[in-house]
A and B are shown apart, each in its own frame.
Chain A
């Protein structure tokens, strides 16, 4: 049973960042902007957040400790991600650039920038930090039988933040005026424009929200799984893109897709602990490949009636209306 709890706890570490970033991608793509820059934005967000934690722990800025420090770092990561995503928004919305190319440029820029800055500031590439955020037991809640072991032991505050983000994000896009406008910009911007929605502003907001969430996601990925940041989020941005498509751009499906991918990642990284799987003697690379292969298969079967936003990737030009 302990193994089972362990798997659930590990899955949280992997699934929550995927969930947050994929939700970010949802906001951008449903406003009509393809955002393959998620990976790069995650790197920037993680860099800003971890650098902030590193400085604070060295006592150079902000006298914060424990989970207050983590919350502040999450804020920093979100701001950094949002600012970085402005570059993509500017290219995609104002300059009507090819969104894939601009996203690729951002993806290439981010790790190079991070390594360069880290080496300029502190001469080494890795940015270390002390993991003072780990929660052994949540008081009271961890006493709940079964569920307490699964969700309230060996956890991080980021797990609950991720769930909160999911609830907010799902609610806003589905039930608010802003959400409706955002979705209409992705489906038929001409129609939305004709009733007075400012496409450019909405698309800017979509990209910025995706930047904020991807920045947070980057930090949330690094904190539980590592003790230093080495200019990489291990392809999670692209995996989040796969989650987004696997979830067909709908928040509830994204939730399930994120947990499916999270479990696969956990099996790949912790397969030696799980007796049943260890006996199967399947190389762990197979588990790493499964999410991507599954996405390809789902794409092959769902692209006939794909739920993708109709105007996705097409720059909006008011003159074409």
Chain B
């Protein structure tokens, strides 16, 4: 049945009729609009420097050669994970704004295991920390999932609440168990718990790159397989498209909602571990600030159209312009311009209807032209 439908669709299809292509084009248009907006902002604040600063953003990681690319990959790894988390939940029709909380919970679990569990053999230590992070993230993700499935609580609100509970809870736990009083941050993890560099630092000298980006890539492939090649993934997507229809078809939608949030939480939690098990001088701070990686994950997922491969690319893109943003300080611009650009991209992405309409109108007009031409020919 599915195949038959596919064949029928494949018969005569212009690229503009394919939904994915239209989405892709509108995503690219959103990026262009966002960058354009960024340029305008830079131009208003300092016209003489704007050109140089903007070219830094565009060049991004490529501006300082191979080490810049290493930095880009290092920045991209955690946000690809949170992006995957948000995107995965999106496919089930859930908006996982709680990636931050899951990220923080995972990060704490990883740091806790990394600092405390010295009895583990050195090869196992890092892996144990990663699994602890996934478990903690899954636990954090499961709460909104369960509330949604069994109490019909809107997952957006409950995940926002879980973000704050996670932030304050983790601050409390850091203070109690792994606190470095002098620096007001978490203690450094044991070196055996850090992710291996696996020779990547030889390829990209001068950057903090480690196997994190490879773990992110493997996760991307795993999520792609789950979503597109398994019955479970098919059920998840069916729930996302139409909850009532999938229940009618015999899919246990409650189970799928919970599992989807649990997996999303696992992905975010793993992202937290990737950031803090990197031996790059990054420690968990005891501050009342929600982890920004979760919100970046939302941007990454939206920009990547919630498709794992798209998320990988958009994560790299965000990493790219983030490196560009720190280079831009040479031109006396605050790096926050990047956050504004990302926000503008997300906002334009929300306006995708506008872009889709433009594309459709453009396509219909060209279709009309060819049709009238054909009709004219037939008449002749």
Interface residues of A (CB under 8 A from B): 34, 36, 87, 91, 95-98, 100-102, 104-109, 111-113, 115-117, 119-120, 232, 234-235, 238-239, 241-242, 245, 283, 285-286, 288-289, 292-293, 295-296, 299-301, 303-304
Contact = CB atoms under 8 A, between A and B. Distances in A.
B203 interface: no
Contacts of A105: 343-344, 346-347, 349-350
A286 B302 CA distance: 34
Contact of B169 (A111, A289, A299): A289
Interface stretch (B14-22, B158-166, B220-228, B263-271): B158-166
Interface string B2-16: 000000000000000
A119 B328 CA distance: 14
A309 B252 CA distance: 28
B298 interface: yes
19 contacts: A95-B350, A97-B352, A101-B298, A104-B97, A105-B343, A106-B347, A108-B299, A109-B347, A113-B336, A116-B45, A119-B334, A235-B164, A288-B164, A288-B168, A289-B168, A292-B164, A296-B147, A299-B157, A304-B152
Contact of B171 (A34, A239, A285): A285
Interface of B: 41, 45-46, 95, 97, 143, 147, 151-154, 156-158, 160-165, 168-169, 171-172, 175-176, 288-290, 295, 298-299, 302, 334, 336-340, 342-344, 346-347, 349-354
A293 B165 CA distance: 7
Contacts of B162: 292, 296
A101 B302 contact: yes
Given A112-B340, A293-B165, A36 B156 contact: yes
B56 to A, nearest CB: 15
Contact of A101 (B41, B158, B350): B350
A5 to B, nearest CB: 27
A254 to B, nearest CB: 15
Nearest to B161: A292
B353 A112 contact: no
B143 to A, nearest CB: 8
A41 B295 CA distance: 17
Given A102-B350, A234-B288, A296-B158, A109 B344 contact: yes
B161 A295 contact: yes
B169 A285 contact: yes
B158 A98 contact: no
Contacts of B288: 234-235, 288
A104 B295 contact: yes
A108 B350 contact: no
Main secondary structure of the interface of B (DSSP, over half): helix
Contacts, number: 140
B339 A120 contact: no
A235 B152 CA distance: 25
A108 B295 contact: yes
A109 to B, nearest CB: 4
A9 B157 CA distance: 30
B371 to A, nearest CB: 25
Contacts of B344: 105, 109
A292 B351 contact: no
A292 to B, nearest CB: 4
Given A242-B161, A296-B161, A97 B351 contact: yes
A319 to B, nearest CB: 14
Contacts of A288: 164, 168, 288
A300 B154 CA distance: 10
Contact of A102 (B164, B299, B347): B347
A190 to B, nearest CB: 20
A96 B357 CA distance: 12
Contacts of B175: 283, 285
A241 B339 CA distance: 24
Nearest to A245: B157
Nearest to B352: A97
Nearest to B337: A116
Contacts of B163: 238
Contacts of B336: 111-113, 115-116, 119
B334 A95 contact: no
Contacts of A303: 151-154
B294 to A, nearest CB: 11
A213 B137 CA distance: 36
A116 B347 contact: no
A289 B339 contact: no
